[in-house]
Structure 1
Amino acid sequence: MDVDKHAEELASTLGVDKQEAKEDLESLLQYSVPLEEAKQSVRRKHSDGDGSETDAQPESLPLDEITTGLNNVTVTVRVLTVGTRRIQYQGDEQTIREGRLGDDTGTISYTAWQDFGFEAGDSLVVGNAGVREWEGEPELNLGASTSVAMADEPVDTDATVGGDSDLIDLSPGDRGRNIEVTVEEIERRTIDGRNGETKILSGVLADDTARLPFTDWDPHDAIETGGSCRIEDVYIREYRGSPSINVSEFSTVTPLSESIEATDSAPTLSLGEAIDSGGLFDVEVVANVLEVRDGSGLIERCPECGRVIQNDQCRSHGAVDGEDDLRIKAILDDGTETVTAIIGTELTEGIYGDGIKAAKEAARDAMDKEAVADAIREELVGDSYRVRGSLSIDEYGANLTVEAFEPADDDPAARATAVLAGVRQ
Structure 2
Amino acid sequence: MNIDDHAEELASDLGVDKAEVKENLQNLVEYSVPVEEAKRSLRRKFGDESGGGSSGPTAENIVDVGPDSGNVTVTAKVLTAGKRSIRYQGDDHVIGEGELADETGKISYTAWEDFGLEPGDTVTIGNASVREYEGNPELNFGESSTVSKAEDLDVPYDVGGDRDLADLSPGDRGRNVEVRVTEVETRTIDGRDGETEILSGVLGDESARLPFTDWDPHSEIEEGASVRLEDVYVREFRGVPSVNVSEFSTVTALDEPVEVGGPTRMAIREAVERGGAYDVELVGNVIEVRDGSGLIQRCPECGRVVQKGQCRQHGDVEGEDDLRVKAILDDGTDTVTVILDRELTEEVYGGDIEDARQQARDAMDQTVVAETIAEKLVGSEYTVRGHLSVDDYGANLETLEFRESADDPAERAQAFLAEVEA
TM-score with structure 1 length normalisation? 0.83
Q: How far, CA to CA, are the matches of 2:27 and 2:362 in structure 1?
A: 69
What is the distance in 2 between the residues matched to 1:318 and 1:221?
A: 44
Correspondence list, 1:24-423, <5 A: 25=43, 35-36=46-47, 38-39=48-49, 41-42=50-51, 45-48=53-56, 59-89=58-88, 92-151=91-150, 153-269=151-267, 271-310=268-307, 313-317=310-314, 322-412=319-409, 415=412
Q: Which moved more, 1:317-326 or 1:184-193?
A: 317-326
Preserved contact between residue 14 and residue 46 of structure 1 (Cα < 8 Å): no
The 3 A distance-change label for structure 1 pair 14 and 336 is closer
Q: Secondary structure at the match of 2:160?
A: coil
Contact 2:285 2:329 in 1 (8 A): yes
Moved more, 90-99 or 207-216: 90-99
Q: Is the 8 A contact 2:77 2:122 kept in 1?
A: yes
Q: 1:416 to 1:91 in 2, by over 3 A?
A: farther
Deviation at 1:251, TM superposition (A): 1.5
Number of residue pairs matched?
Answer: 400
Partner of 2:8: none
Bigger shift: residues 331-340 or 107-116: 331-340
* Amino acid in the other structure paired with 1:42: G
Q: Is the 8 A contact 2:25 2:38 kept in 1?
A: no
TM-fit CA distance, 1:330:
0.8
CA RMSD, aligned part only? 3.2
Name the SS for the 1:245 alignment partner: strand
Q: 1:284 to 1:125 in 2, by over 3 A?
A: same
- 8 Å contact kept, 2:385–2:401: yes
**Contact 1:201–1:217, Cα closer than 8 Å, also in 2:** yes
Query: 1:13·1:142 contact (CA, 8 Å) conserved in 2?
Result: no
Alpha-carbon separation, structure 1, partners of 2:419 and 2:373: 32
CA distance 1:424–1:319, shift in 2 (3 Å): farther
Identity of aligned residues (%): 57
Distance (Å, rounded) in 2 between the aligned partners of 1:281 and 1:93: 33
Deviation at 1:337, TM superposition (A): 2.2
Shift of 1:86: 2.0
Q: Which moved more, 1:84-93 or 1:239-248?
A: 84-93
Deviations 1:337-392 (A, max 9, x none): 22211011222122112222333333333333223222211100111112121111
Q: CA deviation at 1:71?
A: 4.2
Give 3-state SS (helix, strand or coil) of 1:205's partner: strand
Amino acid in structure 1 at the alignment position of 2:142: G
Distance 1:315 1:421, change over 3 A: farther
Deviation at 1:171, TM superposition (A): 0.3
- Cα distance in 1 for residues equivalent to 2:391 and 2:69: 34
Q: Distance in 2 between matches of 1:308 and 1:260?
A: 41
